A and B are shown apart, each in its own frame.
Chain A
């Protein structure tokens, strides 16, 4: 099951700070290209609002941010320790392999 121990010691290239910075830069460039591409592709709107420039970009971002914040707010009310049901009906977490 275990793999070469040498690998454990080395920092994988994917998690190095330099790689992560490049990934952010590359990702932002892709996002920019996607928005600018709308200058060349007719978005074929159905309702009007979806014809606004970059609609899917800002709408996707804004709704996702709202969902994350909304979920966080809901968690204040509904979050419990994962042992909450243990006394009545929960078993261990790893015994169902």
Chain B
């Protein structure tokens, strides 16, 4: 198996060629590297395993099965689409970081052991931080620092869990487990942190919107969905995930409803959508896991499309607050249409990709007679239309006339949006190809008259609620406090208080020590000055006498002891 080339490495090493080639060749690499990676992923049959020895362990940096291949495939598609969209990005470091980030995500998806997972996991944290950082603003820099601190904390938790797990079982294999001991709890917590689970969900809306117009598109795809992947593989059917997922669903809706920043609205909806997937993983049946995996696949596409649409608005107007936007449908028709298609897909509208994936999770809840879960998922489906399906396009493209008259973005960005929009509708109309590559055989028909009618009722009456309650949703120049308040406000306040309290004592101690040292130096100085004992010249006879004394003392010590 020594001839195996890890698909992840094509993107990771290929990324470093991007700054070295000229403007003409770079687009070829931006599209060619992900496509080459994709070809490499599909060149391996399921069941292909590469094994290498490391210390006393057998690592599996490549283990191809249908679940891993599904995620690696969508990550490669996303890298290509993001590369196309970001082709005119002047800060090449962002593209390099984004490709390393995408490659690392593919590395996680195809890893067969926990150590390989961890290595690529941490590479993702560093690369994604660089994507944020490369926006080159103070806000982005500070957000990236907070982001990486949260992720390094998660990484430490995960590492401790993995080391504990490996030392107690003697195996590094990454396979399904139950959170029934502290090692596995830590692994689960480490995974969940990257999924945006509570209480540390705030890193997502804090950091992602600070990236550039193209950086946020990349960021939306990899970290949270790799977390979904490892949870599907590592903790299927873990019941607590149902509660975690439901919390994330409603957290995302409520916070998005209150948000004014168009991209932050969409980032909150990532938490919301990942919540659906986590709930599915918690239910744990084949239908639910297929639903979670399919929804991750479709979500990456429509979320990228939504953020491409928002990124295009930001690129052309330099504005991101709903209060500053509105009426852009007049001059950005393509961006608006693509944004609406993404919004319909995230809302699971019939004939869009969300409809054929998310409904599998609800179906699984119904199959397992989980009535409350099913009811909450139905309410959440309506809520998605409310907070993302209508709110985003309404406040950005319609609402009021902001007076802004930007045109649609450059050609490469338009093509990227159109491709993703075609994917959204194509998968919605023809779900067969996606169903064929899901981890388990699919026995599900999304298009029944009752399902379509039920969903249309749910969504359109949600729309009615939106427009009737529109006065309550008037955008204001506000943010909503989240858990990050503890480390952005309370902890600095606390540490500043500590400094204010103890700095006088600290000053007094330092001053006391300095004063004593000064006194000592004065005494030592006197010894070396004028007639000081160390400044006097000594006769050679005196020195010989003292040498004899020391030698005699040494001899006596040697003889008697």
Residue B320 lies at the interface, judged by CB distance under 8 Å to chain A: yes
Which of B207-215, B297-305, B542-550 contacts the other chain? B207-215
Q: Which of A33-76 contact B (CB under 8 A)?
A: 34-35, 37-38, 41-44, 46-47, 49-50, 54-61, 63-65, 67-72, 74-75
Inside 8 A of A41's CB, which chain B residues have their CB?
Answer: 449-450, 453
- Is there an interface contact between B405 and A43, defined as CB atoms closer than 8 Å? no
Kindly state whether residue B538 has any CB partner on chain A within 8 Å.
no
Taking a contact as CB atoms under 8 Å apart, the answer to whether A88 and B492 are in contact is yes
Q: Which of A58, A63, A80 has the most CB of B within 10 A?
A: A63
CB of A61 within 8 A of CB of B480, answer no
Contacts of B401 in A (CB 8 A): 15
In B361-376, the 8 Å CB interface with A consists of 366, 369, 371, 374-375
Lowest 7 A-B CB distances belong to which pairs?
Answer: A91-B139, A64-B465, A56-B457, A63-B379, A60-B458, A60-B382, A46-B366
Query: Is B480 a contact of A43 with CB atoms below 8 Å?
Result: no
**Interface pair A93/B473, CB less than 8 Å apart:** no
Of the candidates B138, B143, B449, B469, the one whose C-beta lies within 8 Å of that of A68 is B469
B459 and A96: CB pair below 8 A? no
| B-binding residues in A (CB < 8 A) | 1-3, 7-8, 12, 14-15, 27, 30-31, 34-35, 37-38, 41-44, 46-47, 49-50, 54-61, 63-65, 67-72, 74-75, 78-82, 84-85, 88-97
Quick check: is B481 within 8 A (CB to CB) of the other chain?
yes
Contact partners of A65 in chain B: CB under 8 A: 465, 468-469
**In the complex, are the beta carbons of B478 and A82 less than 8 A apart?**
yes
Name 16 extra pairs, CB < 8 A, besides A47-B374, A95-B137.
Answer: A7-B405, A12-B330, A44-B450, A54-B457, A55-B454, A65-B469, A67-B250, A67-B257, A67-B383, A69-B472, A78-B482, A82-B479, A85-B489, A91-B137, A91-B142, A97-B318
B458–A71 CB distance below 8 A: no
Question: How many angstroms from the CA of A68 to the CA of B382 in the assembled complex?
Answer: 12
Q: In the complex, are the beta carbons of B139 and A35 less than 8 A apart?
A: no
Pick 11 A–B contacts, CB within 8 A, sort by A. A15-B327, A30-B460, A44-B448, A63-B382, A67-B253, A67-B383, A71-B254, A79-B480, A93-B261, A97-B213, A97-B314
In the complex, which residue of chain B has the Cβ closest to the Cβ of A12? B330
Residues of A contacting B451 in the complex (Cβ-Cβ under 8 angstroms): 44
In-complex Cβ contact of A94 among B320, B459, B488 (8 A): B320
Q: How far, in angstroms, from A65 to B463 measured CA to CA in the complex?
A: 10
Contact status of A56 and B320, CB under 8 A, knowing A68-B473, A88-B488, A91-B142: no
The answer to whether A72 touches B462 (Cβ under 8 A) is no
B152 within 8 A of A: no
| Interface contact B450-A43, CB-CB below 8 Å | yes
B462 and A60 contact, CB distance less than 8 A: yes
B140 contacts which chain A residues (CB < 8 A)? 91, 96
Instruction: Take A44-B448, A91-B138 as given contacts and tell me if A68 and B472 are in contact as well, using a CB distance cutoff of 8 Å.
Output: yes
- Out of A55, A61, A92, A95, which one reaches B465, CB within 8 Å? A61
Q: List, in ascending order, chain B residues with CB within 8 A of A81's CB.
A: 477-479
- Cβ-based interface call for B423 (8 A): no
What are the residues of chain A within 8 A of B462 when measuring CB–CB?
Answer: 60-61, 64
Judge whether B40 is part of the interface by a CB distance below 8 angstroms: no
Contacting pair B315 A38 (CB below 8 A): no
Q: Check A64–B407 contact: CB distance below 8 A.
A: no
Any A CB within 8 A of the CB of B13: no
